[in-house]
Structure 1
């Protein structure tokens, strides 16, 4: 565990320290696009934050390669090199998109190529643990297609959710934390070394997100851009592929008693293969809803809009920070709920706890619908949105000047003002302005 923590801290430190210089480079390079209709920020903000995250990934892999226990991952498996190759390719495509905004189909092709590069180097799904059936081996083409599909779906799910300051980095960090605990348990509790690469990938991914978050929390000083969102999506998918398609349920059968029981032990990792990930079920749901919504309107599935889940949270009245925290809450509930269920699926308390927290989450979602008002004596102790607003006192309207049919301007009766045309005209203008203001208030 200490070596994992060391790798995590070094990855986070490198990412954090490089983000500042990368921000200056992005400003000089002109990677600051104009504010679009779907954006929620008010000022142009530099992108290319994925550059710092990629070098954090490289630093984490380099440090792990020189540690005593983690060095075995590089000696016995080619998966770290496969991850680095695919990450470098997807990162390069993301950098070009942050600067030049390349076509969506080109990005999709690049994502498929990056996934194919990892498959060629051995990071692929070899079999599927199906509950109730057991271990089902896949052909080479089946494994390749399933691996590429999982990588592409996960990348775009993370990319779609990257719409608010700190949202994507925080949600992926929560997902990586839950995934790390599960993979670490399989490796050290069951002694299955095939889970070691996935555990390392999750630790490095947490470091990348934690190092970038201080610069990306609202108000963000820099965005990760596609170079960052696609990168962390690929790393997360690589961990899921490694532990789902490489860990043999037959090895778990030695500890659980049978192959079917072992398959049930891998259900929390098998489900991510279909969703594609329970630990990022919220971005996956947002991805599916976006595709359905855009296709229904006759638009391209890759056409950007303001219909994502985080946009809807802002529309119903949540602040920027509270919308991000709500998305964090649901991600943690789903990810760690699946983790707790995998540890003890027979406990009813886990199910009841998830149900209770889900009810709490629904209350948080509907919070803007309720605007209670507190007594006057307690208003100083509550936020401004719960205070009673004082009604401004209205002043009596001034007498309007009369304009006869002949066009001559006269003073109002009983006013005692000077009989001068310019003075009467100014009084008429003031009264007209007052009447206009009263209409606007009404």
Structure 2
């Protein structure tokens, strides 16, 4: 698998220069509107904070895609149109959920429909379509679950966008999302003036799922490798909670990244570590090694992190986890 700066630069279009300005304008509007995320028992923040920063991310991303595609007339637009439709639909539903808090099953149905819209133009058979929809729904939820501390989700996806653009996968599209996320980050990390909310995390995650299910000119599992740290955290937590008899559909503070911060690891350090996990996944997957060796190379840091945090949590967290 080759990373090419030429591939990355091919994605630079005039639209890239419009994204930051548009994103900042939308974020400032959302800060002024001040739909607040009030802290609850499982929250990492302690004071009401505006949410909806994802409207700046996704709004600037979707609005500039047509402009970017005008500079790349050779691009196949049907898959991009499907992605835009699914992302727009999920963004609308997620923003409504940020305000009104829908039931979990309603949100899952919306995610399935959005995933279907994204997967349909790039899928060759009904069976593969079903698998792609399941993968997209899993990725959407996994990246949303991880959006619990400042900068973790947004930074991880931004890094992934740049790496995927380096492989030549839709750089004219992914650079727009990367720039929108980077524009958002100073508003959220290390200190949050605004959260991106479900409208940002779920919608951006759906774009990553779209990358994962497309026919690739490179090794198709790179997307999964990039988010291996996040997927490990989510799957380990689900399995651990299932064995403990916890209700899996209930909100909690039991993810590894949450246990880390609850046990005293600085939030910024945890965020930076998960960004490193994203870079590590790309590095390992670029090595000319057998598949088993690649998997072991990716999993080893996650396993060590898990042991460290579980031991630390046993010593320092006195409440249920």
Shorter-chain TM-score range: 0.7 to 0.9
Matched, 1:328 2:275: yes
Structure 2 CA distance for aligned equivalents of residues 214 and 243 of structure 1: 34
- State the match for 1:165 in structure 2: 150
- Once the two structures are superposed, residues 369-400 of structure 1 have per-residue CA deviations (whole angstroms, 9 ceiling, x without a partner) of 8xxxxxxxxxxxxxxxxxxxxxxxxxxxxxxx
- State the match for 1:375 in structure 2: none
- State the match for 2:238 in structure 1: 291
> Please, which runs of 5 or more residues in structure 1 have no aligned partner?
127-139, 185-194, 248-265, 370-442
Structure 2 CA distance for aligned equivalents of residues 305 and 160 of structure 1: 10
**Counterparts of residues 127-166 of structure 1 (less than 5 Å):** 140-166=125-151
| Contact 1:14-1:59 within 8 A present in 2 as well | no
Larger Rg: 1
How far has the Cα of 1:309 moved from its partner? 1.7
**Counterpart of 2:46 in 1: which secondary structure?**
coil
Matched, 1:282 2:229: yes
How far has the Cα of 1:12 moved from its partner? 3.3
How far has the Cα of 1:109 moved from its partner? 0.6
| Contact 1:64-1:71 within 8 A present in 2 as well | no
How far has the Cα of 1:102 moved from its partner? 0.8
Structure 1 CA distance for aligned equivalents of residues 222 and 11 of structure 2: 26
Equivalent of residue 45 in structure 2, options 27, 41, 44: 41
Task: Using structure 2 for the length normalisation, give the TM-score.
Answer: 0.83
- State the match for 1:96 in structure 2: 96
Matched, 1:178 2:178: no
Change beyond 3 A, Cα 1:93–1:332: same
> Please, which runs of 5 or more residues in structure 2 have no aligned partner?
1-7, 313-321
Report which structure shows greater RCO (CA 8 Å, sep ≥6).
2
Structure 1 CA distance for aligned equivalents of residues 289 and 89 of structure 2: 43
Equivalent of residue 250 in structure 2, options 303, 321, 325: 303
**Counterpart of 1:321 in 2: which secondary structure?**
helix
| Contact 2:87-2:207 within 8 A present in 1 as well | yes
Change beyond 3 A, Cα 1:107–1:309: same
Structure 2 CA distance for aligned equivalents of residues 66 and 72 of structure 1: 9
Structure 1 CA distance for aligned equivalents of residues 102 and 147 of structure 2: 18
| Contact 2:226-2:282 within 8 A present in 1 as well | yes
**Counterpart of 1:43 in 2: which secondary structure?**
coil
- Once the two structures are superposed, residues 299-339 of structure 1 have per-residue CA deviations (whole angstroms, 9 ceiling, x without a partner) of 4323111111211221333112112112212221112332x
Change beyond 3 A, Cα 1:327–1:278: same
- State the match for 1:408 in structure 2: none
Matched, 1:18 2:26: yes
Aligned residues: 295
